[in-house]
Structure 1
Amino acid sequence: MRIELLRIFVSVTGLTFLSTGCLSDDAIVSQGGSSTKGVYEPTAPSDSEVRAEAFSVLNLDYPGMEEVKAHFEAGEPGKAALALRDYYRYSAPVNNPLVNLLGTTLSDAERSVADDALFENGYRFKVSTFVDETNHPYSYMNAAGDGIDWTLHADGDQEQRGQLHRHQWFVPQAKAYYVTRDDRYITSWIGVYDDWWKTHPAPESYPEANQPKDYIGWVPLSVAARVQDMCTLMEYYRWADAFDAAALTRFVERLSFQVDFIRNNYWSDSNHRISQAQAVALAGLLFPEMKAASEWVDSGTSILNEETAKQYFADGWLKDNDLHYHIGSIESFRSAMLVAAANGQTGRFPASYTEAIRRMVEVEKYLIYPNYAVYNAADGDYNYSTPNFGDTRPTSWTRNILLRHMRNYRDLFPDDEELKWLASQGAEGKMPPTGIKCFEDGGHYTIRNGWTRESTMMVLVNAAQTPVEAWHRQWDNNNFELYVNGRQFFPDSGVFSYNSGSSDRNTYARTDNHSTLTLDKVNISSCRGVCLLAEERADYDLLILENPSYSGLTHRRSVWFVEERFFVILDEGYGSAAGTVNLNFLLLPGGSSEVVVDADQNGAHTAFADGNNLLVRTFANKPVTTATRTGNVSLKLDNSTTRKAYRIDMKKSADDAAARFITILCPTKDATSETVGASFVDEPFSETSARISVTVGGREYRLSYTLEPKN
């Protein structure tokens, strides 16, 4: 037997990562060596087991492919497949910094996903966060109990039906194999993938404007997810004896087909295009022996460079205007750049690309809540760390994921002292500033007094896109969330459903299901939010946002953060419209004695035993009535929790200049011991100024603003 040395290349590019060329000691035996059973003598598959077409996607003149070419040209596809297997084991000259084999671990959650997907456990395939009543993924076992029924759609949500085809259980199975060397996982992967491929032939095309409804498995975003995972799967399975030569040729042919399918079906914009380009670029960089590899790299990296400008506002916000996809897209840009650098193609991404990522990171940095790095089981499911606006789904962004992001960003931007602080949980670097942070293009704003779990932080959304313009948006302008010491007192309703146009999705998107102002309980008709003033002073921070919510009624929301202790919100609905102006508040879930609506006092209070509570009171310029409502909050798809809510109503005639409300949000240990009050000093209403008086803890505070007249 001819013994060859395995050369391990570690690319030093100024980036801190371990090359996945590094393997555990038992993985290197000899040419043909086994990672599981010692010396292994491979047998070439029969020629009938190998599709000769698989070799047409390969550049047989690529260095290291000499034996593959020789056998193929000799009419020996079986032996050519075996030589190709040896190429991927010993000669493939790539580094994948996104997979650290030496550091591979298998969490309990990943092991559960891997095991659930096995035949003996009913083909319970992980599909996003969809689970059955046993808290396990739904089973896709057919009625006969001997195979897979890909048509099953137990949940009924179109997102479940779509995400099934992203094969989200494949990578956990690969990790399970690599850690345990249990061939059940790789055998399951090969069999399930073969079955999926057989039962899901691709359409000739998948045009964005006329999507073929019977081919949901070929939505280009799902194809991109599969390609990205194939780049990862190769690292875990490269040395597996069960990854035989015939299976490898099928893998290679399918990879090429899917990458070309993406290239022929790029979507024109949105986060889909970013994910598509990432997949194409990664495939070209990590499979340079493919015939079209250089074209893939050119295509993917060119689009990624373009999209950092086309799909982002100047302030760094993704124009989709949804934090979930904003965070995910950062990883698309970052991972492509890392892989290019690790494989000697740093020049694919200029300095402008890196600086665009820096602006994107700034958004994530300021929008996550300060408990992202601290585990606190006491608050249960509501200890989440991102706002719940739009389609964000905070349960997707666990503390571990967000903390890993901060560490990745610190490594990407080693000059950023604030990222060092966030990545090290305050042990290094410099704490970011407190006060107001404005992302005016993206329409999101934060006010905070600190960056540790005990801090207070308000997030407001007042964007300039409607859900028609940005599908992940909702009719929620001038909405807010309030975080105090690890607790969200006004979590946004969330999304619940991805079924486009469904009653559930529309219900959660409705304006009156957000903590903002409505007219006659109907949706606002315009989302064209602007910031009129952002001012930081020694005694308070002041933010004034405005939105032309209805024809004849503009909503101005002014927020004072007084002495970094409590908030005062002045809501003014002004204009010629007549009707009932509604001020909506949706509270956090809690027991009947923990969250209480005080309708007779136009407010609410909490009474949690841990002493982290809030008193809310509203005062108006005309008589009002307060009605208790039942609200819902959804932190992940198809899951919802009821919570208390209330609405304060004021009759407004066309002659009334404005409906005005002063609301005090006072964090306190004991809300029943607090007394607050407020009044207007400046009647009648003015479009350029306001003066109010509030009393908290027996002390009077005079608050005001003055604006420049509108042109």
Structure 2
Amino acid sequence: MFDACSRVQVGIQESVYQDSRELLLSRLYLNSKRLKKVKESLDIPGKAMDELLNYYKGRESVSHPVKRITNSIRSENSVDESDFKIANDALEHVFVGQRAYPPHFCGDDINWNTRPVADMEWVWQLNRMYFWNAMGKVYAKTGDEKYVKEWCLQVVDWIEKNPNDAEHNYAWRSIEAGIRGYSWTTLFYRFIQSPHFTPEVLVSFLNSCYDHAEFLMTRYRSGSNWGLMEAEGLAFIAFTFPEFKNAVKWRTEAIRRLNNEINLQVYPDGHQRELAIGYHLGCINWFYRTYELAMLNNRAGAFPESYFEKIELMCEVPMKLCFPDGTNVQFGDAWAGQPGQHSDNFLTWAEWFERDDFLYLATDGESGTAPNQTAFALKESGLYSMRSGWDKNATCLVLKCGPDGGGHCQPDNGTFSLYSGGRTLMPDAGSYIYSGDPEGRNWFRQTKVHQTLTLNDENSGYKPDLLLWQPGNDLDVLVVENKAYENLTHRRAVLFVEKKYFIIIDEAIGTGTGNVDIHFQLAPGKVVHENEKYYVYSEFSSGTNVFVQAQEQVGLQLSEEEGWVSYEYTKKELRPTFRYRLIKEKKDEALRFVTLVAPFEREIPKIKVELVGNSKVGSDKIQFKINENGTEKLIAYELK
């Protein structure tokens, strides 16, 4: 016999409960045949609530991705040790906010606005209650009622303490409301069969879901991932609780927004407009989950065929832009993550779209077929990749020269990251932190800490142009241009020669004067500098290294710079960085840097690059003579 959560246990006063009960009944469509027993019991309010709870415990008319917990279902394959740790801590009110920080005890009487760190991300994420998801998963795995009992207490506590007003705006940003709208419906299905889920809990919970939906109807952050989470939360409440009078209105508006946003936010090349891979992957989920929910409830027709087709195009992006080991390129607010992190995604997508190339990536080549390309251009996003193959040791360079992606983007057009031999040799700096350390965040948002050109160390702008994309068997050519400054344009050409090494041509075109620098950054580790010969190379004791050498010219300077890289939120480490500098003294002067970037294993490569002819900076055609270990050849590109 379980000790169910009574009104007294969850802390609801009788008068408050009566008012809440009447409010909920006024919000339900009681003329529905499904709520007939509830309507017939209105003269006995307590019985009406019992009937409503019984209705939800037995309801079969609504489908949801999470199946209800029954005595015959006691497994949850995705539960791991961390879920148990988070769930058990939450029983003691030790909660996880932003995961980069330690869990924090929020009091016997929970303070939902506690701030153990200066970073507001902690408070905001506390009020997304990700730890409740862990409690739900662990309950599904174990059937232990203590998790439901404590969740009932906590959800009612949060609802009572956090009305939607100015004093509680830390809990009522629209993004948090949207996340809760989605996750709370999942928790509803996890816990509804428990005897601890009483009428008192149901009343409080449903009224808050209604309040969330009505609030989300007034918030629409179009063009941002926020808009997707707002719409998703609204949709999941509407689909899960069609008994609300306003459910059809909510559902219609949520689907309208998602249909609108997939065209506004996703470029024709498939990348989400904020140009940060983590948010891109999140957007795949936010677009798909409501589509799946609609399918489960026979309303997929509310989405056009193009909607699902565009999701498929989005799923191609990590295939095209991630490194061979499955880690991410850290452009903007992105994090490298762990090798193989996308395997489960690719397996899911292989099933959705019947794609053998996704299956190949999901199984490390054991099944499916490798993608039939090794070079990809996402032209609208300004993201390009060149690779030598599809094994984990392949060489891969990813370059960015795109539009302004907003707050999660950085002024880094022209930058690139390089991977080879199972190692990211030249990673992007990352972003370090969102709030709590504004100076730290701003340091990572400087153009000069990216592998691109600066004029007088100033941040650059976003005015990109693709001049040439010409992949081939032995030579891939990419030429992009960015009007980085009002008076100076940066043209960068990248030539991937024989799938082994890169020649990078940087040209500064315009009237701007001062210090023109090309910046390069390597992975943390030892390096060798040879300033007189204009080269730097990494010195890992084993595996693959990288050699960077600029073509000698009058006035060229090589010097070290301050360098940091952040692979995890709130964490950063020193890394070697350097710059090549030319001083542009005259307005009519134009400058060119030619740099060899060559991964190598045992011996430093003997490659000499020499410009052929006297082509002016900004010319449409450039030709080079390359001497590699005594063998000469000519390579060139010509703009059309």
Q: Shared topology, TM-score over 0.5? A: yes
In terms of mean alpha carbon deviation, does 598-607 or 478-487 score higher? 598-607
Tell me, yes or no, if structure 1 residue 168 matches structure 2 residue 122: no
Verify: 1:646 aligned to 2:578, yes or no: yes
Please state whether the residue corresponding to 2:591 is helix, strand or coil.
Answer: strand
Q: Does 1:689 align with 2:624?
A: no
Contact 2:181 2:232 in 1 (8 A): no
Selected match of 2:294 from 326, 337, 340? 340
Is contact 2:228–2:286 with CA below 8 Å preserved after alignment?
yes
**Contact kept in structure 2, 1:475 and 1:527, CA below 8 Å:** yes
Give the corresponding residue for 1:358: 312
Q: Within 5 Å, which residues of 2 pair with 1:512-531?
A: 512-524=448-460, 526-531=461-466
Are the equivalent residues in 1 in contact too, given 2:182–2:233 (CA < 8 A)?
yes
The answer to whether residue 11 in structure 2 is matched with residue 80 in structure 1 is no
Query: Which ranges of 4 or more aligned residues in structure 1 deviate by more than 6 Å?
Result: 40-47
Please say if residues 434 and 447 of structure 1, whose CA atoms lie closer than 8 Å, have aligned partners that are also in contact: no
Distance (Å, rounded) in 2 between the aligned partners of 1:322 and 1:485: 25
TM-fit CA distance, 1:399: 5.3
- Of 321, 328, 332, the match for 1:390: 332
CA 276–179 in structure 1, closer or farther in 2 if over 3 Å, else same: same
Equivalent residues in 2 for 1:207-222 (5 A)?
A: 215-222=169-176
Q: Deviations over 1:375-407 (max 9, x none)?
A: xxxxxxxxxx11111012333xx5565222212
Question: How far does the alpha carbon of each residue in 1:237-272 deviate from its partner, in whole angstroms, 9 at most, with x for none?
Answer: 121222222112211111111011101222233111
Match in the other structure for 1:677? 608
Whether 1:104 and 2:104 are equivalent positions in the alignment is no
Q: Secondary structure at the match of 1:228?
A: helix
Stretch moving more, 692-701 or 551-560: 692-701
Alignment partner of 1:317 out of 271, 294, 313: 271
Query: Is 1:620–1:660's contact at 8 Å kept on the other side of the alignment?
Result: no
How much has 1:456 moved relative to structure 2?
1.4
Q: Secondary structure at the match of 2:562?
A: strand
Tell me the residue number matched to 2:121: 159
In 1, Cα distance between the equivalents of 2:454 and 2:403? 17
Match of 1:607 among 511, 514, 539: 539
CA distance, structure 1, for counterparts of residue 331 and residue 236 of structure 2: 31
Match runs of 1:552-631 below 5 Å: 552-590=487-525, 592=526, 595-631=527-563
The residue type paired with residue 449 of structure 2 is N
Q: Which residue of 1 aligns with 2:415?
A: 479
Q: How does 1:525-564 map to 2 (within 5 A)?
A: 526-564=461-499
Do the aligned partners of 2:522 and 2:538 also contact (CA within 8 Å) in 1? no
SS at 2:344 equivalent: helix
* Structure-2 separation of matches of 1:400 and 1:666: 25
CA distance in 1, matches of 2:557, 2:167: 49
Q: Which residue of 2 aligns with 1:377?
A: none
- In the alignment, which residue of structure 1 is the partner of 2:193? 239
Which residue in the other structure is 2:34 paired with? 64
Aligned pair 1:55/2:25, yes or no? yes
Q: Is the Cα contact below 8 Å between 1:617 and 1:676 reproduced in 2?
A: no
Residues 107 and 561 of structure 1, relative CA distance in 2, 3 Å threshold: same
Deviation of 1:42 (Å):
11
Q: Evaluate the alpha carbon distance shift between residue 299 and residue 701 of structure 1 in structure 2; reply closer, same or farther with a 3 A threshold.
A: same
1:98 Cα deviation from its structure 2 partner: 5.0
Q: Write the distance in 2 (CA, Å) between the matches of 1:167 and 1:306.
A: 29
Is the alpha carbon distance of 1:349 and 1:240 closer, same or farther for their aligned partners in structure 2, counting shifts above 3 Å?
same
Amino acid corresponding to residue 704 of structure 1 in structure 2: A
Alpha-carbon separation, structure 2, partners of 1:409 and 1:335: 13
**CA–CA separation in structure 1 for the residues paired with 2:595 and 2:67:** 51
Give, in whole Å, the separation in 1 of the partners of 2:248 and 2:168: 33
Q: Distance in 2 between matches of 1:189 and 1:400?
A: 34
The alpha carbon displacement at 1:655 in A equals: 5.7
1:186/1:543 CA distance change after superposition, 3 Å? same
Deviation by residue 1:511-567 (Cα, 9 ceiling, x = unmatched): 00101111121211x211111111123321111111111233211111111111111
Is 1:140 matched up with 2:109? no
Q: Does 2:607 align with 1:635?
A: no
Deviation at 1:44, TM superposition (A): 9.8
Judge conservation of contact 2:35–2:52 (CA < 8 Å) in 1: yes
Would the alpha carbon gap of residues 622 and 115 (structure 1) be closer, same or farther in structure 2, given more than 3 Å must change? Answer: farther
Deviation at 1:213, TM superposition (A): 8.3
Cα deviation per residue 1:409-468 (whole Å; 9 max; x = unaligned)?
A: 222212x33223333432333311333211111111111122221211111110122x6x
Letter of the 1:676 counterpart: I
**Inter-partner Cα distance in structure 1 for 2:530 and 2:187:** 56
Q: How does 1:329-478 map to 2 (within 5 A)?
A: 329-372=283-326, 385-395=327-337, 398=338, 402-414=342-354, 416-465=355-404, 470-478=406-414
User: Which stretch shifts more, 420-429 or 386-395?
Assistant: 420-429
How many Å apart are 1:367 and its aligned residue?
1.8
Listed as ranges, the gaps of 5+ residues in structure 1 are 1-33, 204-211, 373-384
Q: How far does residue 140 in structure 1 lie from its aligned partner after superposition?
A: 2.6
Counterpart Cα distance in 2 of 1:213 and 1:324: 32
Q: Does residue 305 of structure 1 match 2:244? A: no
Normalising by structure 2, report the TM-score.
0.92
Quick one: distance in 2 between partners of 1:614 and 1:367?
A: 20
Is residue 496 from structure 1 mapped to residue 469 from structure 2 by the alignment? no
Say which SS state the counterpart of residue 674 (structure 1) adopts. Answer: coil
Whichever residue aligns with residue 333 of structure 2, its letter is D
Q: CA deviation at 1:41?
A: 10
Distance 1:649 1:348 in 2: 57
